[in-house]
């Protein structure tokens, strides 16, 4: 479960990127976070990753109060999260297998386990055959699928995706959303920040809309609220 209680984040004094946000996301939910540019969506994701600390308020993830987490426990905490970004963030000088194995080596997974888990993750995203290729030899959609394989290989309880389809065409965007939905069906909590109105409207998931650092709507089966 992810819970924010009255969370404020100021990057500079007096200017709140998030302003008193309270929200609860249960294990196994699929949630879209939408809102204008600058409304605080990425800040919210970074706070959950503990890449940022709130100026005030409390964040609890899977029973852990992030404010109280010791510095040395942060890497282990982050390994329990799968993260996907708009720009894929693959290692350019490593092949696809290595890109995913890297996430495993960090957690000191034995090679024999890795040899099963990496191809399994690649199969889930439909890229089992391309494990020897390098990122630049893949299309954008394929690169994002590798990023998803990397995010799910450790079977995280939470998957955070910040604009995962921002660089993709509609067909690839739908494929990525389907993979996120499949991860959700396996029990992972999925949070997706997106500007893609069509996808949000079609999928009928919980939709949290942000504006100027506050949550202005939270719909159980919502659509994209366009206020412009």
Ligand X SMILES: Nc1ncnc2c1ncn2[C@@H]1O[C@H](COP(=O)(O)OP(=O)(O)OP(=O)(O)O)[C@@H](O)[C@H]1O
Compute the least distance from the CB of residue 9 to ligand X, in Å: 8
Compute the least distance from the CB of residue 130 to ligand X, in Å: 30
Question: Considering beta carbons, is residue 128 or 225 the nearer one to ligand X?
Answer: 225
Residue 17 binding ligand X, by CB under 6 A: yes
Question: Considering beta carbons, is residue 104 or 196 the nearer one to ligand X?
Answer: 196
Residue 117 binding ligand X, by CB under 6 A: no
Question: Distance (Å, rounded) from C-alpha 179 to C-alpha 182?
Answer: 5
CA dihedral (1, 54, 215, 205) in degrees, to 10, reads: -30
Question: Considering beta carbons, is residue 20 or 119 the nearer one to ligand X?
Answer: 20
Residue 87 binding ligand X, by CB under 6 A: no
Residue 4 binding ligand X, by CB under 6 A: no
Residue 205 binding ligand X, by CB under 6 A: no
Question: Considering beta carbons, is residue 11 or 106 the nearer one to ligand X?
Answer: 11
CA nearest neighbour of 86 among 51, 48, 45, 121: 45
Q: Are 65 and 5 in contact (CB under 8 A)?
A: no
Using only C-alpha atoms, the chain has a radius of gyration, in whole angstroms, of 18
Q: Are 199 and 174 in contact (CB under 8 A)?
A: yes
Compute the least distance from the CB of residue 18 to ligand X, in Å: 8
Question: Considering beta carbons, is residue 40 or 82 the nearer one to ligand X?
Answer: 40
Residues 21-60 contacting ligand X, CB under 6 A = 35, 37-43
CA nearest neighbour of 61 among 45, 48, 43: 48
Half-sphere exposure of 79 (CA within 13 A, CB side): 14
Alpha carbon distances (Å) from 152 to 24, 34, 117, 120 = 23, 23, 10, 10
Compute the least distance from the CB of residue 19 to ligand X, in Å: 10
Compute the least distance from the CB of residue 20 to ligand X, in Å: 15
Contact residues: ligand X, CB under 6 A: 11, 17, 35, 37-43
């Amino acid at each position: 479960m992810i819970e924010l209680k009255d969370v404020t984040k100021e990057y500079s004094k007096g200017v709140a990127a998030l302003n008193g946000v309270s929200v609860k996301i249960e294990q196994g939910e699929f949630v879209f976070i939408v809102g204008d540019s600058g409304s605080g969506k990425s800040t919210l994701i970074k706070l959950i990753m503990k890449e940022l600390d709130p100026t005030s308020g409390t964040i609890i993830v899977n029973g852990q109060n992030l404010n109280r987490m010791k510095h040395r426990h942060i890497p282990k905490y982050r390994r329990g999260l799968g993260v996907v970004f708009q720009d894929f963030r693959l290692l350019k000088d490593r092949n696809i297998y290595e890109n995913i194995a890297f996430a495993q080596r960090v957690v000191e997974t034995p090679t024999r386990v890795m040899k099963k888990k990496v191809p399994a993750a690649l199969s889930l995203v439909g890229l089992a055959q391309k494990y020897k290729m390098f990122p630049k030899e893949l299309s954008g959609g394929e690169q994002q699928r590798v990023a998803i394989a990397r995010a799910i290989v450790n079977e995280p309880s939470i998957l955070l995706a910040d604009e995962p389809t921002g660089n993709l065409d509609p067909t690839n965007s739908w494929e990525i959303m389907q993979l996120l939905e499949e991860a959700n069906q396996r029990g992972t909590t999925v949070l997706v920040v997106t500007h893609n109105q069509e996808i949000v409207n079609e999928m009928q998931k919980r939709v949290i809309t942000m504006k100027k650092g506050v949550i202005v709507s939270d719909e159980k089966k919502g659509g994209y609220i366009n206020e412009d």
